[in-house]
Amino acid sequence: MKHVIIGTAGHIDHGKTTLIGALTGRNTDRLKEERERGISIELGFTYFDLPSGRRAGIIDVPGHERFIKNMLAGIGGIDLVMLVVAADEGVMPQTKEHLNILSLLKIKKGIIVLTKKDMVDDEWLEIVIEQVKEDVSGTFLENAPIIPVSSTTREGLDRLVNEIDFLTEEVEPKDVHKPMRLPIDRVFSIQGFGTIVTGTLISGTIKEGDKIMIYPHKIESRVRSIQVHETTVGIAEAGQRVAINLAGIKVEEISRGDVIAAIDSMEPTYMFDAKLELLKDAERSISNRDRLRIYHGSAEVFGRVVLLDREELLPGENAFVQMRLEEQIACQKDDRFVIRFYSPMITIGGGTILDPNPPKRKRFREENIEELSVKEKGDIEDIVEQQIFRMSESYPDVAAIAKAAGNISIESCNIVLGNLEKKGAIKSFKTMEGAFYVHSRFLEDLVEKVKIVLEDFHKKNPLKTGMSKEELRTKVMSYTKPKVSDELYGFLISNKVVKVNEQNVSLWDFKVELSEEQEKIRKQIMDLYNSNKYNPPKYKDLSTILKLQEKILEPIYNTLIDSGELIRVDLETVFSKEAIKDAKELVVDYIKKNKSIQLGEFRDLLGTSRKYAMAILDYFDQIKITRRVEDKRILHSSK
């Protein structure tokens, strides 16, 4: 069923609360002060049933200029507005300000209700109707029905109800498939129940027992129970007025302006990027870094506006801005907001949030304007691609991307990611922990960085087979997790950018080139190790044996280690590759025939010392050829 929220708007004492009482039989003024003074101060809530059977929630807002912030806290989630104008007074200052606010919040549908019809004659009523038509010209209410009523005699109420019922048919249903979100507009406690919050559920669904998070403080709680229109329900859907009993939360921990949403579905922010527009009849312009009152959802915060492409924003103009806040809020892309001057408190404009968690932007940067232009157009593929480009260094998964792109559903995000990958704009990598995504331009930059770093390394170290994988990861992969860097290395290898030898990385076409003299020394070293396969010389003795200076010997020796021609089995012991290969064949064949081998048996097979036999067996344990069981070795399970 479609759920509808109707809001009132209009000047103080124009009969909004009385009208709602006539429609519903209920008084929405619940405070003692409101009833004594005869004015609404706080938001009022009730409901009534339409002829079609739909149940409509109603939000009654205060009309006094001092309580505009209370009006703003409730009006954002409505589907349809009743702009109330008293027939005996006509359009007044708060009528105009409320109409401006409704326009800024992009409310699309409404009815103009002329109350107190019984207090004026027909001639006066016609004059007021013409005045109203003139004042709403050019707004979303330009073609709205104007219905004169009397809440006292009930004249015109039936027509009003039927018109409301007709317009609610045209109201677009809110998205129940998006992540749940509810801006809190009231917090109180009931003895025996605990903390209760109310608000309009603007997206998703919420169920009894759900775990939720309260933003911006990221307080976790659980839904103990739910009421919709004073009736306990198991589930509430977007478009309904909801009262929620929260578990384990004190009243003083939360307040109006906080937001209930799914756990980790939002990120609190001290700034957001937006397209800001000033009202044509705004009394003042805005200069860069002006301090403003900012109204978003049910929250009111102070902040400063950073104009990204100009020094001043004039009435009737719009511009890309970054709003820098004095308190955190929780918002999402495409949310609307309203701004008022810090002093005097007058509504001057509003806009649309384009990025709820942006980087701190510098002014007069063309790339910033281009990025925000893409976000303003709203093409979901462009937005997702842009977010991946921005986030690539953090290797985001689908959940992080969906959240950054405006809290789109995971399902929708996966479809977009698939399309972008087909186009070659992004690339996915799969690890045991799940897939991550990077932009193709990020990979192009990565390739260039790797080439520059390795070219420099090879130039400085011509006899080394490559840089260690860990050092290269630190230099060009932003300290990625090993599983992520392994996937990136796989990409670099498959694209013939690098080759990996043991733990070293080199450019794909790099190879160590020894001079004729160096090649002669290399052969002497290898002959020495191969002729003493299992009784190899120690490095410290090589200079004496070969009658070479260490500065000449060391780089060639290290090249043999790096290339794998010599294999270091522990800190002090090195064997030739051929020796290790033969030893492996001997130990595997022996164990297959005898089920196990002891150290002494292996020593005798090699004709070496206990020390060297032990070093080789420990190495085989390390590389999972063998496995030690008490004083014997057996083959590793993978062999």
Structural domains in the chain plus CATH codes: 4-170 (3.40.50.300), 181-261 (2.40.30.10), 269-369 (2.40.30.10), 370-425 (no CATH), 533-635 (1.10.10.10)
Tell me the mean pLDDT in the region 16-41: 67
Whether 426 has a pLDDT exceeding 70, the answer reads yes
* pLDDT at 224 (0 to 100): 96
Q: How confident is the model at residue 635 (pLDDT cuts 50, 70, 90)?
A: very high
Residue 170 burial (C-beta neighbours within 10 Å; 0-12, 13-18, 19+): exposed
Please answer whether residues 75 and 25 qualify as being in contact, where contact means their C-beta atoms are separated by less than 8 angstroms.
no
Q: Position 16: which residue type?
A: K
Tell which residue, 1, 12, 159, 191, has the closest CA to residue 84. Answer: 12
Tell me the mean pLDDT in the region 58-75: 66
Q: Position 449: which residue type?
A: K
* pLDDT at 562 (0 to 100): 82
User: Which position has the token pair 């400063």?
Assistant: 304
How many angstroms separate the first and last alpha carbons of the chain?
63
- Give, in degrees to the nearest 5, the angle at Cα 99 between 169 and 330: 80
* pLDDT at 230 (0 to 100): 85
Tell me the mean pLDDT in the region 182-199: 91
Q: How confident is the model at residue 36 (pLDDT cuts 50, 70, 90)?
A: very low
Paired tokens of 338: 């309203």
Separation between Cα atoms, residue 334 and residue 344, nearest integer Å: 28
pTM metric for this prediction: 0.74
How many CB atoms are closer than 10 A to CB 316?
A: 12
**174: which DSSP letter?**
P
Please answer whether residues 634 and 627 qualify as being in contact, where contact means their C-beta atoms are separated by less than 8 angstroms.
yes
Q: How confident is the model at residue 318 (pLDDT cuts 50, 70, 90)?
A: very high
Q: Report the percentage of the chain scoring pLDDT > 70.
A: 95
Whether 59 has a pLDDT exceeding 80, the answer reads yes
Q: How confident is the model at residue 463 (pLDDT cuts 50, 70, 90)?
A: confident
Output the CA torsion sign for 454, 459, 461, 466. Answer: positive
Whether 175 has a pLDDT exceeding 90, the answer reads no
Residue 61 burial (C-beta neighbours within 10 Å; 0-12, 13-18, 19+): buried
Tell me the mean pLDDT in the region 475-488: 87
- Residue-averaged pLDDT of the chain: 90
* pLDDT at 63 (0 to 100): 47
Q: Per residue in 486-510, is it b (16+ CB within 10 Å) or e — as a string?
A: ebbbebbeeeebbbeeeebbbbeeb
Whether 11 has a pLDDT exceeding 90, the answer reads no
**Strands, sheet with 632-635, edge to edge from the N-terminal-most edge strand:** 597-598, 632-635, 626-629
**What residue spans of 25-149 are helical by DSSP H?**
32-37, 68-75, 93-104, 122-136
Angle between helices 599-606 and 610-622 in degrees, nearest 10: 110
Tell me the mean pLDDT in the region 434-447: 96
Separation between Cα atoms, residue 290 and residue 332, nearest integer Å: 23
Whether 420 has a pLDDT exceeding 90, the answer reads yes
Tell me the mean pLDDT in the region 296-319: 96
Separation between Cα atoms, residue 209 and residue 199, nearest integer Å: 18
Tell which residue, 17, 48, 53, has the closest CA to residue 35. Answer: 17
494-503 per-position pLDDT tens digit: 999 999 876 7
Output the CA torsion sign for 217, 223, 225, 227. Answer: positive
Separation between Cα atoms, residue 203 and residue 219, nearest integer Å: 20
Non-local (6+) Cβ contacts of 551 within 8 A are none
Phi-psi region of 393 (alpha: psi -120 to 50; beta: other; left: phi over 0): alpha
Pairing of strands 574-576, 504-507: unpaired
Whether 38 has a pLDDT exceeding 70, the answer reads no
Separation between Cα atoms, residue 47 and residue 66, nearest integer Å: 26
Q: How confident is the model at residue 31 (pLDDT cuts 50, 70, 90)?
A: very low
The β-bridge partners of 278 are 349
Whether 243 has a pLDDT exceeding 60, the answer reads yes
* pLDDT at 42 (0 to 100): 58
* pLDDT at 622 (0 to 100): 93
Whether 639 has a pLDDT exceeding 60, the answer reads no
* pLDDT at 308 (0 to 100): 97
Tell which residue, 439, 332, 355, 431, has the closest CA to residue 394. Answer: 439
Output the CA torsion sign for 548, 550, 555, 561. Answer: positive
Angle between helices 469-476 and 482-494 in degrees, nearest 10: 100
* pLDDT at 174 (0 to 100): 82
Lowest mean pLDDT among 9-23, 107-121, 267-281: 9-23
Q: How confident is the model at residue 176 (pLDDT cuts 50, 70, 90)?
A: confident
Separation between Cα atoms, residue 470 and residue 504, nearest integer Å: 9
- Entry field: residues in the chain: 639
Tell me the mean pLDDT in the region 207-220: 96
- Per-residue CA distances from 569 to 134, 579, 612, 614 (Å): 91, 12, 10, 10
Compare 267 and 481 and report the one with higher pLDDT: 267
Paired tokens of 507: 């450019």
Paired tokens of 532: 């003493």
Local structure of 459: helix, strand or coil = helix
* Most confident stretch, 33-42, 189-198, 434-443: 434-443
Tell me the mean pLDDT in the region 345-364: 93
Separation between Cα atoms, residue 96 and residue 103, nearest integer Å: 10
Non-local (6+) Cβ contacts of 206 within 8 A are 180, 182, 212, 223, 226, 235, 236, 242, 244, 260
Q: How confident is the model at residue 489 (pLDDT cuts 50, 70, 90)?
A: very high
* pLDDT at 62 (0 to 100): 63
Tell which residue, 564, 578, 565, has the closest CA to residue 532. Answer: 578
Q: How confident is the model at residue 280 (pLDDT cuts 50, 70, 90)?
A: very high
* pLDDT at 551 (0 to 100): 85
Tell which residue, 562, 563, 416, 434, has the closest CA to residue 487. Answer: 434
Q: Long-range contact list for 522-528, CB < 8 A, 24+ apart?
A: 522/556, 522/559, 522/560, 525/553, 525/556, 525/557, 525/560, 525/566, 526/560, 526/565, 526/566, 526/576
* pLDDT at 499 (0 to 100): 92
The alpha carbon of 388 is separated from its chain's Cα centroid by a whole number of angstroms, namely 11
